């Protein structure tokens, strides 16, 4: 198992989808930093998971109905801990600037709804920083994955799934994705689908693998990596599983 994916950053240690979470993910040994992108009412890509501001910020309302000035002004850290009071929703640009020198791969999820122009704007920010080769753009929405291919035919793409279906492998092939990322429960219930995807050259990285007692079973199922809130713990667990040199 090669990949240690920090889900919304090191979300067990800092507020999800914030710059402190991403910096902590890098320090925690993440091979990939995963985050979610939505676009504000005035066309600014920002990093936030939910459709609304309500759960993870002091704001309210839909992200796509709010101008960037409003989204960037709310507190996105105090819900997690008073220590993070004043932490802001980051722009995609600021997130990429933080990750650019780190060397980790970027797993960028575009949340629907997203227009082709919005996807192109997201891709352009990645390209401007020379990060396309380090980035996988993924989505639950196959149409968004198609839009990413249109915007940048050479960018690696991923397909997120909630439940395997008989069409999963065919859809992943059609979209020419490098990874198909289902839930942990899907992997545990459908190891045959993992094998079929792997045999098709498509990596599987399940989300959200927070139960550490399941990590060995998931690794045995043939997954390429785990998407987890506990990336530093996964780094330590992975290191402990490595065979020791005779000199150790």
Backbone conformation region of residue 222, classed left if phi is above 0, alpha if psi is from -120 to 50, else beta: left
**pLDDT for res 243:** 76
**Confidence band of 221 (pLDDT split at 50, 70, 90):** very high
Report pLDDT digits (tens) over 10-68: 999 999 999 999 999 999 999 999 999 999 999 999 999 999 999 999 999 999 999 99
Q: Is the sign of the CA dihedral 136, 102, 14, 123 positive or negative?
A: negative
Mean pLDDT across the chain: 97
pTM: 0.97
Question: Phi and psi of 162, rounded to 5°?
Answer: -120, 90
What's residue 244's pLDDT?
67
In DSSP notation, 103-141 reads: --EEEEEEPSS--HHHHHHHHHHHHHTT-GGGEEEEESS
When pLDDT is averaged across residues 147-175 and rounded to a whole number, the result is 96
d(CA 105, CA 1): 16
pLDDT-derived band at 242 (thresholds 50, 70, 90) equals confident
Digit-coded pLDDT (tens) for 93-124 = 999 999 999 999 999 999 999 999 999 999 99
b (16+ CB within 10 A) / e for 224-245: bbbbbbbbbbbbebbeeeeeee
> What are the residue boundaries of the structural domains of the chain, listed by start?
3-241
Parallel/antiparallel/unpaired status of strands 45-47 and 3-7 = unpaired
% residues pLDDT > 70 (the chain): 98
Q: What CATH number belongs to 3-241? A: 3.20.20.190
Strand 135-139, strand 32-39: pairing? unpaired
pLDDT at 248: 53
Please report, in angstroms and rounded to a whole number, the separation of the first and last CA atoms in the chain: 22
């Amino acid at each position: 198992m090669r990949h240690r994916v920090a889900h919304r950053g090191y979300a067990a240690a800092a507020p999800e989808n914030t710059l402190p979470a991403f910096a902590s993910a890098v320090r925690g040994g993440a091979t990939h930093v995963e985050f979610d992108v939505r676009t504000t009412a005035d066309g600014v890509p920002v990093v936030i998971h939910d459709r609304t501001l309500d759960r993870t910020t002091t704001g309210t309302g839909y992200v796509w109905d709010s101008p960037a000035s409003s989204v960037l002004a709310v507190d996105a850290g105090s819900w997690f801990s008073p220590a993070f009071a004043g932490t802001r929703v980051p722009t995609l640009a600021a997130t990429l600037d933080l990750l650019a020198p780190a060397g980790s791969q970027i797993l960028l999820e575009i949340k629907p709804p997203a227009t082709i122009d919005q996807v192109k704007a997201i891709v352009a920010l990645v390209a401007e920083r020379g990060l396309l080769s380090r980035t996988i753009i993924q989505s639950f929405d196959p149409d968004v994955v198609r839009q990413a291919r249109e915007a940048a035919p050479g960018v690696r793409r991923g397909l997120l799934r909630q439940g395997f279906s008989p069409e999963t492998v065919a859809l992943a092939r059609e979209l020419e994705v490098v990874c198909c990322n289902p839930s942990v429960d899907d992997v545990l219930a459908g190891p045959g689908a993992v094998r079929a995807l792997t045999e098709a050259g498509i990596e599987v990285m399940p989300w959200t693998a927070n139960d550490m007692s399941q990590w060995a079973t998931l690794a045995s199922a043939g997954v390429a990596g785990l998407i987890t809130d506990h990336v530093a713990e996964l780094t330590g667990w992975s290191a402990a599983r490595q065979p020791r040199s005779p000199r150790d």
